Amino acid sequence: MKTPIGGEFDAPHDDRHDLGPMQHIDVPMKRFRESEEVDYLIVGVGSAGGVLLQRLARAGFNVVGLEAGPFWNTERDWVSDEAGSQKLYWEDPRITGGSDPLALGANNCGKGVGGGSVHWAAFAPRLHPSDFEIYTHDGVGVDWPISYEQILPYYEQLELEMPVAGPAYYPWGHPHGYAYGPHPTGGVGNALVKGCSAMGIPVSIGGPVAILSGSRGDRPHCIYRGFCIQGCKVGAKASTLVTHVPDALRKGAEIRPESMAARIELGKDGRVTGVHYFDKNRQLHFQRAKAVIVSGYAIETPRLLLNSACPGHENGLANSSGVVGRYLMAQAGNVVLGRFDQLVRMYKAPPAHVLTEEFYETNPKNDFARGFAIQTVAPLPIAFGKQMVAAKKAWGWGLRREMMDYNHWATFGVLGEILPWADNRVTLADQKDVFGLPIAHVSFNLHDNDKELIKTGKEKTMEVMRAAGATEVVQEARYAHLVGACRMGDDPRTSVVDKFGRTHDVPNLFVMDGSVMPTQGSANPGLTIQALAARTADYLISQRDAIFTSNQRDMTEPPLHRELAPPDTWGHGVPRIA
Ligand SMILES: Cc1cc2nc3c(=O)[nH]c(=O)nc-3n(C[C@H](O)[C@H](O)[C@H](O)COP(=O)(O)OP(=O)(O)OC[C@H]3O[C@@H](n4cnc5c(N)ncnc54)[C@H](O)[C@@H]3O)c2cc1C
Ligand code: SF4
């Protein structure tokens, strides 16, 4: 094939995965037989599943990942185009309800190897130490079964593995710095910096964001073309597809794409024996495994457990507490749009690059607990058009005029902590999907604390937009990020899994993904999800065969296996500020 300038075009190869212009997986993938009892079977190769797969393979376990979506060949499958990237999302039917229903489907959950880390914007802040004990401090929500200090080594480790770019001094929560320098700001970042500065609000410039600010290994640095949420064909944005999956395959893991887990099988001894799954031709298979880890995210994970009900677990597998599906959380994600007389061109630069966490913690002057962050958003034109419809009721010629004005607008997002409530939950609907599996019904209701927090977050963000110089400011109410619905805890009566993700009811069944988070803070969840996955992997590795042979629970904290990180993970010089 000839390129327009007459050179030979190196078309994508079928026998290897191209993960960008420079990154390729060219080792043949190991294949396990279904009759073979693998050590770990992971359902979902997304943010958490990708990290687990890599760590367990590197530690020498036989590990298979079942992934409902495709194994992307990014050069062949991805486009730098907003409309052409919808296939990155989980768009299978779901039902949404409650008094404040969540928008589900597009722009919500990922599907395909890498999961949500493929389309995330890659903002990668940590939770604050206070997030782990909000019940103790504020009397709301619930405390985590682990402390900030227990996840800290994994934050530091994953920040190197992705890696995360950001300032040398990040002042909020537990102050720390980033090994990779911050990114330059685009028009939308400049607006947030200007608005915050005018109001005396400290602001973090150029990160923390899991986008390469300098080339590393076979991944090039960011070229500021703004298609991060469309996957990033360049490979500069971290996703487990480019950070962890290549190493997993080189170390002998198998990924079975387009394989939809349908039911987890429980043996007579009360231990799981494997997973039934459909292949792309809707043929049913069964993969045997010594242990199963479900990493399907906050809706599909509880759905799979509920769909795996069996004698002795009539309400769903591992659901003796009745908590499977409950305490689902989304973050308040109101988008505030401001029009500027001068050009902004918000598409130029990663959407995620400036934020403030100044309003993150509980403020006794507020009449609500917990807080919110303010971040750059920068939608591309289709998303912007939808926001104009919602925020200004623009339609017809009016909408067209707004869209022609796109280059003059900047958008900031509120990221607000909605508390965990038992009535926000995933259940099974009567309707079935193409495989004949009951689909998820998601019910969501805002409570008084959430409503007050959203009101304040929205007003403060609009104030910042005005302070930045916007002549018109409007907003769209929406939510961002889903977590919870299989929460971790010490008490089997009020949680689904223990502090390592092992279900309280079934000793060789684990859940590890965003669904285990008991609360969510006002930090984007991706870094925390990957850090939790790395910690669980260290636990499983330190337990060796005990997980497969014993029902005893050793709750000893595992050592950090830094040596099991993907090679070339830069291991020097993270500024650690006491
Ligand atoms: C537009 C957008 C922007 C975002 N930006 C950010 C951001 O800037 N920072 C941040 O921290 N977070 C961000 N997020 C959120 C982040 O992407 C998710 O929180 C995170 O990816 C969840 O990780 P997970 O491991 O729980 O699930 P996922 O990464 O979604 O992985 C789950 C995987 O399981 C697979 N799966 C599910 N069910 C089955 C089944 N039955 N059988 C087989 N496979 C199955 C899915 O296909 C998927 O690949 C964003 C999300 C969206 C939608
Ligand atoms: S802005 Fe940077 S991270 Fe985003 S798509 Fe472009 S190269 Fe990738």
Structure tokens at 300: 């599909």
Q: Is 524 in the pocket of ligand 1 (CB under 6 A)?
A: yes
Q: Is 513 in the pocket of ligand 1 (CB under 6 A)?
A: yes
Buried b (16+ CB within 10 A) or exposed e, 5-14: eeeeeeeeee
Q: Is 237 in the pocket of ligand 2 (CB under 6 A)?
A: yes
Q: Is 39 in the pocket of ligand 1 (CB under 6 A)?
A: no
**Atom 1 of ligand 1, residue of closest alpha carbon:** 107
pLDDT band of residue 13 (cuts 50, 70, 90) is low
DSSP output for 276-296: EEE-TT--EEEEEEEEEEE--
**Range(s) of the domain holding residue 494:** 38-564
Three-state SS letters, 98-144: CCCCCCCCCCCCECCCCCHHHHCCCECCCCCHHHHEHHHHHCCCCEC
Q: Is 109 in the pocket of ligand 1 (CB under 6 A)?
A: yes
Which of 41, 118, 120 maximizes ligand 1 atoms within 8 Å of its Cβ, making it the mutation to test the pocket?
120
Q: Is 302 in the pocket of ligand 1 (CB under 6 A)?
A: no
Measured over the CA atoms of residue 553, residue 555, residue 561 and residue 566, the dihedral's sign is positive
Would 576 be classed as within a structural domain? no
Q: Is 476 in the pocket of ligand 1 (CB under 6 A)?
A: no
**CA dist., res. 485 & res. 305, Å (int):** 11
pLDDT digits (tens, 9 = 90+) for 349-367: 999 999 999 999 999 999 9
Which CATH number characterizes residue 61's domain? 3.50.50.60
Ligand nearest to the CA of 529: 1
Would 22 be classed as within a structural domain? no
Would 28 be classed as within a structural domain? no
**Atom 7 of ligand 2, residue of closest alpha carbon:** 222
pLDDT digits (tens, 9 = 90+) for 196-225: 999 999 999 999 999 999 988 899 999 999
Strand order in the sheet with 95-97: 95-97, 438-443, 425-432
Would 76 be classed as within a structural domain? yes
pLDDT digits (tens, 9 = 90+) for 93-135: 899 999 999 988 776 788 999 999 999 999 999 999 999 999 9
Q: Is 260 in the pocket of ligand 1 (CB under 6 A)?
A: yes
Residue 574 has pLDDT above 50, yes or no: no
Cα 135-139-141 angle, rounded to 5 deg = 50
pLDDT band of residue 10 (cuts 50, 70, 90) is low
Three-class SS state of 539: helix
Asked whether the bond before 125 is cis by omega within 30 degrees of 0, the reply is no
Would 24 be classed as within a structural domain? no
Q: How many domains does the chain have?
A: 1
Any idea which residue has 């080189």 for tokens? Answer: 250
Report in angstroms the alpha-carbon separations of 133 from 146, 153, 176, 372, 461: 9, 19, 20, 17, 27
**Spacing, Cα 199 to ligand 2 middle (Å):** 30
Would 214 be classed as within a structural domain? yes
Which of 43, 47, 243 maximizes ligand 1 atoms within 8 Å of its Cβ, making it the mutation to test the pocket?
47
Structure tokens at 342: 């001068």
Q: Is 350 in the pocket of ligand 2 (CB under 6 A)?
A: yes
Model pLDDT, residue 70: 95
Would 573 be classed as within a structural domain? no
Would 334 be classed as within a structural domain? yes
| Rounded average pLDDT over 440-449 | 97
pLDDT digits (tens, 9 = 90+) for 312-354: 999 999 999 999 999 999 999 999 999 999 999 999 999 999 9
